Amino acid sequence: MIDFSPPELVASCWTSAGDAAPLRVPETSPVPIDERVEALASTGWSGFGLAHDDLAKVKETIGFHGLRELIDNAGFRHIEVEFLSNWWDESKAHEWRPQFDLLLEAAEVLGAKFIKVGTAFGDELRDYTPLAEPLRRLTTEAVSRGTRIALEPIAFSMAQSIPTSADLMRTVGHPDCGLVIDYWHVFRYGTTLEELAQKLTADQIFAVELNDADAEVRGSLFEDTRDHRRLCGHGAQDVTGFINTLQGIGFKGPWGVEILSTEHRSLPVREALELAYSTAQQCFKATTHPENVLERT
């Protein structure tokens, strides 16, 4: 008899943020952090992420040690902190350095396994290698504080391609520098699952984010990304095939779920989290990889 073994799911920062969105000023969630943690714990998640502005608010209120107590009491196993940009440009260090310091402190106290970083929105670099040395520097500092660096390729940024970013990781050559593989940016960039399997190695994958989308982009690519993501299995993309591909590469989780949409933000946070969790779990039940089922006699 087959018995489904559920994966560990992590609510990426926007999934539990309520009516908050990227590039709003500020990006702070209106949901008090204790209510957010309680909603996450009661809906089955194994962990969650927080963005910089929420972390700044936590530091000003209950403090990172206060949040760590909430995390430990709830039994969460995985914490993510994000997001850093401009780290390759020393002329902008006055902007990104204080942000990095906050993320380092948060990661150290909360036990985050990596700090998520990205590149500026705009045209793709023809050559990603100028990012290698700045990534090494960031990673060296992160390791000194007990965490790592994870670059997220974004389909409308300087580093868009996940296969090319995998090559960049080989150039960086540091085991504590890896990638966040967000399925949204896989299909919106046009990367095939076969290309992922050819280019990625399991040691490069620090995190995976699941979501779904319509076949066609709605509005600008940024607007589509921020406002029109679908729940897993409710769009036109092959979420199950993506999971199979990543497991075939050797990724064992945990699995992030990142839902960003006008509809998702309009729901009460607990209801939004329940939907994001249950629909992601359904996609795992449809996969063919043997680690998703256990033989029971």
**CA-to-CA distance for 9 and 31, rounded, in angstroms?**
21
Q: According to the model, what pLDDT value does residue 115 have?
A: 98
Averaged pLDDT for residues 245-257: 96
The residue type found at 102 is: L
Contacts of 230 (CB under 8 A, 6+ apart): 211, 212, 213, 214, 261
Asked if 154 contacts 118 with a C-beta cutoff of 8 angstroms, the reply is: yes
Distance CA 281, CA 262 (A): 22
Q: How many residues does the chain have?
A: 297
State pLDDT tens for residues 150-166: 999 999 999 999 999 99
What is the per-residue pLDDT for 295? 32
Helix axes 239-249, 269-285, angle to 10 degrees: 70
Over the stretch 38-83, which tens digit does the pLDDT of each residue have? 999 999 999 999 999 999 999 999 999 999 999 999 999 999 999 9
Determine whether 266 is exposed, middle or buried from the number of CB atoms within 10 Å of its CB (0-12, 13-18, 19+).
Answer: exposed
Going by pLDDT thresholds of 50, 70 and 90, the confidence category of residue 297 is very low
The encoded tokens of residue 120 equal 């500026």
**pLDDT tens digits, one per residue of 139-152:** 999 999 999 999 99
pLDDT for the residue numbered 287: 79
Given a cut of 60, is residue 291 above it in pLDDT?
no
**Alpha-helical regions (H) of 29-62:** 33-42, 52-60
Of 43-47, 194-198, 272-276, 291-295, the one with minimum mean pLDDT is: 291-295
Q: Output the CA torsion 218→219→221→223 (10° steps).
A: -100
Residue 116, strand partner residues? 82, 150
Eight-class DSSP state of 57: H
Nearest to 12 by CA among 246, 232, 238: 232
Fold of the 11-288 domain: TIM Barrel (3.20.20)
Cα dihedral angle (232, 234, 237, 243), rounded to 10 degrees? 30
Considering the chain, what is the average pLDDT of its residues? 94
Judge if pTM exceeds 0.75: yes
pLDDT tens profile 1-22: 344 567 999 999 999 999 999 9
pLDDT tens track for 200-239? 999 999 999 999 999 999 999 999 999 999 999 999 999 9
CB 269 within 8 A of CB 31: yes
Q: Which helix (H) or strand (E) holds 187?
A: helix 183-189
